[in-house]
Amino acid sequence: MEGLDSTQLRTLAAVAAEGSFEGAARLLHVTQSAVSQRIKSLEETVGQVLVRRSRPCRVTAAGRPLLRLAGQLVLLEREALADARSPLGGARTRARVPVVVNADSLATWFVGALARLPGELALSFDIRQDDQDHTAELLRDGSVMAAVTAQREAVQGCRVRRLGAMRYRALATPALVDHWFPDGLTASGLAEAPVVVFDRKDRVQHRFLRAVAGRDLDPPVHYVPSVPAFGEAIRRGLGWGLVPEQLARADLACGACVDLDPERTVDVPLYWQHWRLDSAVLGALTDAVHAAAAEALR
């Protein structure tokens, strides 16, 4: 069997990362037509369409294994060159580290993990944000090398280890509680009181509703897909919502918010999944993520 061309694979990775042939050309310092030619050649070799030419470009199902291979190849090549003390390796070519992280981890403990990595590794972090129930998808399609995810089953070709649980508390203003829950956290109050939800992938509030009421409820919803805006919407009394305990502390301490039910918390177990690959970068990142999570999560 003829092997695959590594320049073409690298080009596929650049198109996927930048979302366009134009962006890939800029990144690789070549013309757009060179990018186009390389992708076409790779598609001819494999006998499959690898990139859907949409805006942004998307790697097809057939392209996913090749995208992952390309990312692994770039990482291993760079590390081999660095070990060989080649002038091609080292700090001049930063290793791109594409990872996907859920919004609440990103807003609280995850950057602290990155800051633990030694500067000599010369990394370039490429973070995506997605719901913890969906982060594994980007790992599956080869776009990222690691994920903070709620999925405990290992994605094919990946290793998985538990990070701990993020604990959420149901917060609201005292005025909202007086208005909607004068007799405590009743099912009828929960069915009517407006709730703040991050986005349509966020099911944490609905899990809490189900746990309290014993059935699915359909209260009015405000979608607020920004961690600081989500907290602000609760503080301003637009609705109640579930907030990571790390972020809840200040609002509870100053009395801006109260805990709807201090006895009832929602714990979301999080896992670190990453490519099964003997890489110094991935090893150092994994150690840093576990150390930071051990301090921040339960």
Shortest reach from residue 46's CB to its own copies, in Å = 24
User: Shortest distance, CB of residue 84 to its own copies, whole angstroms?
Assistant: 22
Nearer CB in complex with its own copies: 4/125: 125
Q: Which is nearer to its own copies, 131 or 160 (CB)?
A: 131
Nearest approach, Cβ of 58 to its own copies (angstroms)? 11
Report the residue number, 162 or 236, with the smaller CB distance to its own copies: 236
Shortest distance (Å) from residue 198 CB to its own copies:
10
In terms of Cα–Cα distance, which of 73, 102, 87 is closest to 10? 73
For residues 13 and 38, the answer to whether their CB atoms sit within 8 Å is no
- The residue among 80 and 223 lying less far from its own copies, judged by its C-beta, is 223
> Could you give the CA distance from residue 298 to residue 287 in angstroms, rounded to a whole number?
17
- The two tokens of residue 106 are 């990103």
The DSSP symbol for 237 reads T
How far is 196 from 205, CA to CA, in rounded Å? 8
Query: Angle 32-46/21-28 helices, nearest 10 degrees?
Result: 110
Residue placing its CB nearer to its own copies in the complex, 137 or 261:
137
Tell me how far, at minimum, the Cβ of 102 lies from its own copies, in Å: 10
Going by C-alpha positions, the residue among 139, 128, 169, 141 that lies closest to residue 257 is 169
- Considering Cα of 16, then 22, then 23, then 26, what sign does the dihedral take? positive
Q: How far is the CB of 118 from its own copies (least distance, A)?
A: 12
Nearer CB in complex with its own copies: 222/276 = 222
Task: Write out the residues near its own copies by the rule CB under 8 A.
Answer: 18-19, 23, 94, 103, 106-108, 110-112, 114-115, 122, 124-129, 194, 200, 220-229, 232-233, 236-238
- CB 57, CB 15: distance < 8 Å: yes
